[in-house]
Amino acid sequence: MFAGEIRQLWRYPVKGLRGESLRSAKVDFDGLAGDRTFGLFEPGTDKSVWGGSHPRMMAWEAAWPAQCGCADAVAGEPVLYEGGGAAWAADDAALPGRLAATIGADKGVELRPVRRDYGRMLVVFESSVRELGRQLGREVEAARFRPNVIVDTDLEPFAETALEPGTKVRLGGHEFTLQKPCERCVLPSWSPDGSNERDMELHKHVIKELGNHFGIYVRIDETVTIAVGDTVVC
């Protein structure tokens, strides 16, 4: 049905914060290794502090320390970087206070591992990002949609969200299964750089014109490695 290649890989060690660009990544049943492993929560509760309610979170970014020069390695805990570039160890006792102050979390925050019962990987198509920008009359950053994989294929814009769940998609020669199109929350309407600016027109357009879907989730049962430049075939 379509063919192309992987153009970019991204992972987000801490949900809601900006992530890191990769050259390669390990993927298994739990999703892309090191992706959305930690989250921010209100102290003493399971209530998430997320980017839709605290968009200044995206002024921060998180990355796994490089291990032996391997971009896909994950070990220990991530390093967090605030907007000005200062680096923080995940276990720094002063980090929660600094995070809360800079993102406007009046009740404070805790950084801790995320519990999840499944893994999935978000794939976004460059043709759809370009067409969305054309429809809106301005460039749209793919980063707004927080994808793990950005692919460039010969598929018509937005056609990926009409593919049947269960469709097999080969990334780097490995067979992934399409789970479903990604139903979008308000997060893409907020600037992905943490500047606290909102694009309501984009949010309304995605809801009205695209059925509130953008990108697809895929999954794999085995452990594989994918890389920028790998082929994509369906």
Q: Which CA distances in Å does 224 have to 173, 192, 216, 219?
A: 10, 29, 19, 11
Q: What is the mean pLDDT of residues 35-50?
A: 94
Tokens found for residue 207: 């809801």
Task: Enumerate the CATH 2.40.33.20 domain ranges in the chain, comma separated.
Answer: 3-13+118-233
pLDDT of residue 68: 60
Tokens found for residue 162: 């009409």
107, pLDDT greater than 60: yes
Print the SS3 string covering 111-176.
Answer: EEECCCCCCCEEEEEHHHHHHHHHHHCCCCCHHHHCCCEEEEECCCCCHHHHCCCCCEEEECCEEE
Q: What is the mean pLDDT of residues 206-228?
A: 96
Report the mean per-residue pLDDT for the chain. Answer: 93
DSSP conformational letter for 42: -
Would you call 98 helix, strand, or coil by DSSP?
helix
- Please provide the CATH number assigned to the domain covering 3-13+118-233: 2.40.33.20
Q: Say if CB 16 and CB 50 are below 8 A apart.
A: yes
| Predicted TM-score (pTM) above 0.85 | yes
pLDDT of residue 67: 65
DSSP conformational letter for 102: H
| pLDDT tier, 116 (very low <50, low <70, confident <90, very high otherwise) | confident
72, pLDDT greater than 90: no
| pLDDT tier, 115 (very low <50, low <70, confident <90, very high otherwise) | confident
136, pLDDT greater than 80: yes
| pLDDT tier, 109 (very low <50, low <70, confident <90, very high otherwise) | very high
pLDDT of residue 44: 92
73, pLDDT greater than 90: no
pLDDT digits (tens, 9 = 90+) for 152-182: 999 999 999 999 999 999 999 999 999 999 9
93, pLDDT greater than 90: yes
Query: Distance (Å, rounded) from C-alpha 127 to C-alpha 124?
Result: 9
Q: Give me the residue label for tokens 């139903």.
A: 183
Q: Give me the residue label for tokens 């082929």.
A: 231
Q: What is the mean pLDDT of residues 106-120?
A: 88
Q: Give me the residue label for tokens 């994808």.
A: 147
Q: Give me the residue label for tokens 């997320």.
A: 50
Query: Distance (Å, rounded) from C-alpha 220 to C-alpha 150?
Result: 17
